[in-house]
A and B are shown apart, each in its own frame.
Chain A
Amino acid sequence: MIAFSRQRFREICHGERLGDFGILGNPIHIFWPETLPAWVGQGAPKSFAEVSEQDYGTPSPVDDFFAFDASRPLAEVHSGMDAGTEMYEYVPGVSAHNHSFLAAPPYEPRVIAEDERSLTVVDSAGITERLLKNKAYNMPTWLEHPVRDRRTWEAFKKRLDPDTPTRYPADWSGYVERINALDCPVSMEVGGFFGYINMWVGTEPLMYLFYDDPLLVEDMMDTILHLETRMIERVAADIHLDWVWYWEDMAYRSGPMIGPDMVRQYMLPRYRKLNEVVHKAGVDVIYLDCDGNIEQLAPLWLEVGINLWWPLECASGMDPVALRKKYGSEVILAGGLDKRELMRDKASVEREVMSKVPYLVETGPYFPSPDHLVPIDMPFDNFCHYINLLRQIRGDQPLDFSV
């Protein structure tokens, strides 16, 4: 087996190795926090119970167990969702994702109210949210967001300084040395111009803000542009990057939250500026994570050089085969395997994988994965079968997953 070198990654991305593909961990194969511990009861190694999202890719027991091809997100550089935070256990047994969404320092997570069924907490992004106590892992109800007007924005903005020391590992030169010694694709988060503001402001207030105070929206986007520009320049001066990663989440099952005209007006000019910085760093693989139906957004992203799209949610009508036929090998596709089919039974896993993956890898660059994070209701056996099918397509020996 050829090691998954950064050269191989680049050749795959450039369409120079048709038929070849990577089986990558984070940020292609990502698991909901409750999935890995639940799999321990289904035959996965006990070490899965202790793995956090930031661990895999660094590498973790999950990368080793599934033999994910080496890929190294710069999880220690806080230019994206996390500024040294992730899951947080508010009281014993009640946890939630705790992204800081670029805020550094993060807010101090805390419980502010409790009743028989729920907790009301403030998370690391300053979002007040309600969590259920009877669930080990929660997708919360957001009650209030930290940016509510110009006054609260000015306060929040103080946490968006690109030079805040905690955004970077303390031993920077040692870190640089370790990362540059790796021969695998290295990735860095570079923010996003909708997703983060959506979390700071909240969806409904943000939708109003586009009409009620568009200059405030522009100020927030410019602040992100400044922060990410500075961070990419600083990181790329020392570290060899292979790909960068935007997080947007600006679509739902029927289409985008804001229309293409608004995207063109507010976001494209800023993507262009930031992607110039990315290109100057020698990176031409620009990944964007956006759930939902991205049909109307995809051509706009392509226009500004965003050329790797994940997760391609099938329930939202996304079909990676149709996207390949429409856009050809110019676009690097990732995801797009219907998790509902992968969850059903082994025959469904085979149908889903074999109807898409061979075509996609023969016609252009493609990184297979389920069409979003792997959920708790994915049977461990199905996932193992899925991994071995991918290996079979690639000509690798199957793995023995018995523990």
Chain B
Amino acid sequence: MNRNAVLTALQTAVLDGDQHETGRLVQVALADGSPPEKILSEGLIPGMQRLGELFKDGHAFLPEILISVRAMSRGLDELRPHLSGAATPDNGTVVLGTVEGDMHDIGKRLVGMLLEGNGFAVVDLGVDVSAEAFTEAAREHSADVVALSALLTTTTPQFRTVVEALSVAGLGETVKVMVGGAPVTQALAADVGADGFAPDCVTAVDEAARLVAVRRGT
């Protein structure tokens, strides 16, 4: 198999969620002398991007997302020791958590996994996270985006509390805030002063990328 064929096969392995084949093909590509950056940008990431398209078109669902993220993660584990610092994926840093008083975890975890699979650095603060903790983490990690999750209508008011806390801390102009969760809508996001909103975990990746681009002026 030539180098390009290996990269194409790698895309398919990620898309199929075949973690063992993904790991094996990364090793093959490295042994063939493919640059690690190229394996990442032309093998692994296009596989994830194609999966995102299938999800948006209603042809892929959570099981397919999760096994592909697992395969991507396996590929990155193989690749990481060979990547130079400059080539490490740097699509942005996202501080992620479920707001104070809300213990819901699943949707937020899926968003985190997909962000990591798409080259974002993710700081997952867990559930029941205070506005102060979001603010401290955003400052400590120089976050591009703070992503807030809430399941309940009773906890969505915490979105505004976090937005205000970031503003008071002087981070309102530099850190972008995106929100999501079962009762959350674009209108609610605008109402609480968030910069972005995502209705699902795949769209959350696009929205985070958009906000990072806005923040970095790229």
Contacts and interface: CB of A to CB of B under 8 A. Distances in A.
A259 B103 CA distance: 27
B58 A211 contact: no
A254 B203 CA distance: 10
Contacts of A135: 101
Interface in B191-211: 199-200, 203
A258 B105 contact: no
B72 to A, nearest CB: 14
Interface stretch (A137-145, A225-233, A387-395): A137-145
A88 interface: no
A378 B35 CA distance: 59
A316 interface: yes
Given A139-B104, A142-B105, A253-B182, A339 B63 contact: no
A207 B58 CA distance: 17
A360 interface: no
A217 to B, nearest CB: 10
Contacts of A139: 102-104, 151-152
B183 A340 contact: yes
Contacts of A262: 61, 63
Interface string A253-266: 11111110010000
Given A139-B103, A252-B200, A262-B61, A204 B109 contact: yes
A132 interface: yes
A131 B153 contact: no
Given A141-B127, A252-B182, A375-B154, A257 B103 contact: no
A343 interface: yes
Interface string B1-42: 000000000000000010000000000000000000000000
A140 B66 CA distance: 23
Contacts of A118: 128
A291 B101 CA distance: 22
Contact of B66 (A207, A252, A291): A207
B47 to A, nearest CB: 16
B201 to A, nearest CB: 9
A142 to B, nearest CB: 7
Interface size class on chain B is 20 to 34
Contacts of B167: none
A132 B128 contact: yes
Most chain A beta-carbon neighbours within 10 Å: one of B17, B110, B127, B153: B153
Contacts of A375: 152-154
A259 B70 CA distance: 19
Interface string A176-218: 0000000000000000000000000001100110110000000
- Residue of B59, B63, B127 ringed by the most chain A CB atoms within 10 A: B63
A207 B101 contact: no
B101 A208 contact: no
Interface residues of A, number: 38
A211 B17 contact: yes
B168 interface: no
B16 to A, nearest CB: 10
B21 to A, nearest CB: 13
A258 B104 contact: no
Nearest to B151: A139
A326 B68 CA distance: 35
A377 interface: yes
Contact of A131 (B65, B103, B109, B184): B103
A203 B104 CA distance: 12
The binding surface of chain A is classed by DSSP as mixed
Contacts of B58: 255, 259, 296
Contacts of B67: 207-208, 211
Interface in A96-143: 117-118, 130-132, 135, 138-142
Contacts of A131: 103
B61 A256 contact: yes
A247 B127 CA distance: 26
B107 interface: yes
B141 to A, nearest CB: 23
B86 interface: no
Contacts of B87: none
Contacts of A313: 182
Contacts of A94: none
Contacts of A132: 101, 103, 128
Contacts of A340: 153, 183
A315 interface: yes
Contacts of A291: 182
A376 interface: yes
B207 to A, nearest CB: 13
Given A142-B105, A208-B63, A313-B182, 13 more contacts: A138-B103, A139-B104, A141-B105, A141-B128, A207-B63, A254-B203, A257-B62, A259-B58, A262-B63, A316-B182, A343-B153, A375-B153, A376-B154
Interface of B: 17, 58-67, 70, 101-107, 109-110, 127-128, 151-154, 182-185, 199-200, 203
Q: 7 closest A-B pairs (Cβ-Cβ)?
A: A254-B200, A259-B61, A141-B103, A207-B63, A207-B66, A210-B63, A257-B62
23 contacts: A118-B128, A130-B103, A138-B103, A139-B103, A139-B152, A141-B103, A141-B105, A141-B128, A204-B109, A207-B63, A208-B66, A208-B67, A253-B199, A253-B200, A258-B61, A258-B62, A259-B60, A262-B63, A292-B182, A296-B58, A315-B182, A315-B183, A376-B154
